[in-house]
Amino acid sequence: MILIRNGQVHDGSGQVLANTDLLIDAGKIVQIGQNLKAPGAQVIDAEGKCVMPGWIDPLSGWGTAAGRGQARDNDETSDPLTPQLDVVYAFDPDSMMYQELWGYGITAAGVAASNNNVLGGSAAVFKAYGRTTETMCVKANAAMKGSVDEKVKQTYGPRNSAPMTKMGIFSALRELIAKCGSEKDEDQKDPKVQAFKPVLEGKLPLILSCNTKAEADAVLKLFENMPVKLVLANLYQLNESLLDKDCGFILGDLTDGFNKYNAAVNYAALFSLIKAGKPVALSAFGDAVSPGREILMWNAHGLMAQARRLGADLSSEDVLKMLTSIPAQLLGVADRIGSLAEGKDADIVVWSGNPLETFRALPEIVVISGEIVKGEKA
Amino acid sequence: MKRLIRGAKILTMGPQGTLEKGDILIENGKIAAIGEQLDCEDAEVIDAAGLTAIPGIVDAHSHIGGFEIATGAQDVNEMVRNVTAEVEVFDGIDPLSPSFKEALAAGVTCSAIAPGSGNVIGGVVCAVKSAGQGTVESMCVNRHVALKAAMGGNPKGVYGKRNQTPMTRMGVASVLRQYFRDVQEYMKKQEEAQNDPAKMPKWDPAMENGAKVLRHEMPVKMHCTQFDMITVIELAKEFNFEFTLDHAWGASDYMEPIVAAGCPVIFGPIAVAKGFGESIKIDIDSVVEMDRRGVLCAIMTDGPVYHPWLIVEQAGEVVRYGAPVERAIAMLTINPAKIIGCDQRIGSLEAGKDADIALFDGMPALDPAAVVKMTLVNGEVVYQSKGC
């Protein structure tokens, strides 16, 4: 057992609890309260420190493609439509561990196919620390990942093969949707159809990368009147028209200077989406291949600076939600991670200061699945 | 034209230190005075109460205006040969590049634009302000900042693929050595000619730029990481030239030789996934230690690799690992100004210097939500955020 005592607990769903203890046993948070007693537990003194849930980078290539010169095992560009692929088979625990994501507060990530395929396959959620794919996996088949952005056209167009245009991308999607509705036996046995049907039935979220408003509009049009659980990713060109759309959002990386779209985000519209309670998560990857572990936090900082510039009301607890409980919700893993509550996985970071309020903040102690991976060892 | 910035917290980064609440008087594009409660009846007043003024940020290693993201144009990598010491980046910069506007919105008022890093010697680096009159000349602060050179993966990647030298790090070192030997030879011939035009070697701009380096009129700006830094230090000893270590990933493993070399370090950019070889260690915490031990340190964006605001974010990372905020601000202002030979004009807020100023809401490099409200270059307001 581990007792994290007397910290300022930011639970990831908006609450801040002063002088609060967390008791951890068998990988889970078993009790949250004041003056907890736990004879025999390893005690971590968190007085004056900031205790947060580990952050979740919801849409990434961590463990599959990170690092320059490494094989990109999440990038099967032999066919633009590969919903039948499963990113679990691309995942390399050593590659994930090598990045030490917890050094910047990240304890889990949504791992998905690249943005180069219209449908890249099913995404999974992994812990940042562990020994095997199996033990690190929080949820396999957490969502279907695809892309309608220019990366698809840039991948297949130069080969003179479809899709070369946005028409081609949506034609491929429509054809698959039609096949899913077909009664023919050969269609129903098609692994692509079998992989995509749960999406159309609303059983599996669909995360689609779209950089522009036009791409997002086309996606919304394609799936209107279908019970599809849509998550629009990257989406730099968002605007207020998305306020009445029932979908989730993963904002793409704002730091990459080679991205054509991320310097012109409509922040006023973004802040209205957030204020309206739409689930908007932050992320680090965008179209970049190998960002560093700092990028997720830097995106949070960039967002807060834009809020200050515009005088928008965005508290550090709001931003913490975008790094924790909201990505957990979008990936369907909120029952296990993304907030500090009794019964949840013990993925906890004890910061020397609030990293969303000062640069003088280091993750002094990091606990993942109840194991101390950084800081005081037992 | 006079302007008075009133009531700001001012980090002058110069002899006046930090003023908790002070005024900056600007006259004819220069700083006329800094103090508390300055009086000037005929000045246009900028109310800066609650804001923090720092010298305009200087990015000592960037390529903005040379690479254009929207069009994919590149005009700073003349990779036809492994040595193109004759070219000047001054001729490759688009003065109307949107990157300069973006720089102003981040408080970056001056950048040393480097050619390369595709070849071993890429050409001459130049320092430009982010605002001017639409020409590179009007933006230029120092046309001959340094001769740019690149070690390691970049030139290897370009020439190795062509089955040309350098294909290896041995090749990179030998190309540099040969170049400086040629320059020495060229200079010797010039000296022996004793101004006799008949005996003078044929004028060669690539050799002339190398001669400037060997005469210590400009340093070599060395793109290098990890153990390439040691090769640079050894070459500099061999040929007696001044140099800066740019990027400098892995500096914590080479602390003693770097400190002993006494060279400036322009660190960054960080936030790259850890890989192998050059990216095995990306250690901005090393900057804290180098600074403590007297190394003149600056932070770079390597623009357009990162958007300009990431220069302040990286300074914040230096603070995270233990540097006082004022030291981190120095790495964005006076230190890079000194390194690129422009500190007579920019890098600190002092009477007589150019009125290049960034006004932040929040303390940059400490408050992660700090944002630029206004930027001035040569006393003119060149950026103003909404709500200011």
Do B82 and B2 lie in one domain? The reply is no
Helix (H, G, I), strand (E, B) or coil at A215: helix
Q: B311 and B290 in one domain?
A: yes
Of A257, A311, A358, the CB nearest to B306: A257
Q: Rounded distance, CA A163 to CA B230, Å?
A: 49
Q: Which of A68, A262, A304 sits opposite B369 (nearest CB)?
A: A304
The residue segments making up the domain with residue B330 are 57-346
CB–CB contact A305 B274 (8 Å): no
* Inter-chain touch B271–A292, beta carbons under 8 Å: yes
For the cut 80, the answer to whether the pLDDT of residue A68 exceeds it is no
A residues 306..335 contacting B (CB < 8 A): 306-311
Which of B67, B74, B108, B274 is the best mutation test for A, with the most CBs of A within 10 A? B274
Q: Please tell me whether residues B5 and B151 are part of one structural domain.
A: no
Chain A environment of B305 (Cβ under 8 Å): 257-258
Distance CA A68, CA B274 (A): 8
**Contact call for A290 and B271, based on CB within 8 A:** no
Q: What is the pLDDT of residues A197-221, one digit of tens each?
A: 999 999 999 999 999 999 999 999 9
Structure token pair of residue B281: 């260690």
Question: If contacts are CB pairs under 8 Å, which of residues 30-89 in chain A contact chain B?
Answer: 66-70
Residues of B whose CB is below 8 A from A309: 361, 371, 373, 385-387
Same domain, B268 and B383: no
Asked if residue A378 has pLDDT above 70, the reply is: no
pLDDT tens digits, chain B, 388 residues: what are they? 899 999 999 999 999 999 999 999 999 999 999 999 998 889 999 999 999 999 999 999 999 999 988 888 899 999 999 999 999 999 999 999 999 999 999 999 999 999 989 999 999 999 999 999 999 999 999 999 999 999 999 999 999 999 999 999 999 999 999 999 999 999 999 999 999 999 999 999 999 999 999 999 999 999 999 999 999 999 999 999 999 999 999 999 999 999 999 999 999 999 999 888 899 999 999 999 999 999 999 999 999 999 999 999 999 999 999 999 999 999 999 999 999 999 999 999 999 999 999 999 999 999 999 999 999 999 999 999 975 4
* Per-residue confidence (pLDDT) for residue B327, from 0 to 100: 98
Query: Which residue of A70, A359, A360, A362 is the best one to mutate when testing the B interface, meaning the one whose CB has the most B CBs within 10 A?
Result: A359
How open is the CA angle A195-A196-A202, to the nearest 5 degrees? 120
Contact B374, B359 (CB under 8 A): yes
Answer yes or no: do B47 and B190 share one domain. no
d(CA B85, CA B41): 52
What is the spatial distance between Cα B130 and Cα B99, in angstroms, rounded to a whole number? 9
ipTM entry: 0.96
Measured between alpha carbons, how far is B384 from B388 in angstroms, rounded to an integer? 7
Question: Looking at the 3D structure of chain B, how many domains does it have?
Answer: 2
Query: Are B29 and B88 contained in the same domain?
Result: no
Residues B178 and B294 in one domain: yes
Chain A CB contacts of B226 below 8 Å: none
Closest partner CB to A292 (pick from B272, B277, B309): B272
User: Cβ of A301 and B369 within 8 Å?
Assistant: yes
Asked if residue B152 and residue B45 are part of one domain, the reply reads: no
Tell me whether residues B371 and A356 touch, CB distance under 8 A.
Answer: no
Chain A nearest C-alpha distance from B209 (Å): 31
- Residue to substitute from B272, B318, B331, interface A, most A β-carbons within 10 A: B272
Q: What is the mean pLDDT of residues A106-127?
A: 97
- Are B273 and A68 in contact (CB < 8 Å)? yes
Query: How confident is the model at residue B193, as a pLDDT?
Result: 96
Same domain, B49 and B95: no
| Residue ranges of domains in chain A, CATH in brackets | 2-51+342-374 (2.30.40.10), 55-330 (3.20.20.140)
Q: Clarify whether residues B374 and B341 are in a common domain.
A: no
With beta carbons under 8 A apart, name residues in chain B contacting A357.
367-369
C-alpha to C-alpha distance for A125 and A142, rounded to whole angstroms: 7
CA distance B71 to chain A (A): 10
> Is residue A298 a contact partner of residue B271, using CB atoms and an 8 Å limit?
yes
CATH of the domain at B38: 2.30.40.10
A294 reaches B (C-beta below 8 A): yes
User: What confidence tier does A78 reach under pLDDT thresholds 50, 70, 90?
Assistant: very high
Reading the block at residue B38, the tokens are 């300055």
**Calculated CA dihedral for residues B379, B380, B384, B388, nearest 10 degrees:** 60
pLDDT tens digit sequence for A343-366: 999 999 999 999 999 999 999 999
* pLDDT score of A70 more than 80: no
Q: Does residue B184 share a domain with residue B311?
A: yes
Express each pLDDT in A158-201 by its tens digit: 999 999 999 999 999 999 999 999 999 999 999 999 999 999 99
- Residue B89 near residue B115 (C-beta atoms within 8 A): yes
Q: Structure tokens of B80? A: 């036809």
Beta bridge partners of B2: B27
Tokens of residue B333, six digits: 């202002």
- Mark whether B24 and B171 lie in a shared domain: no
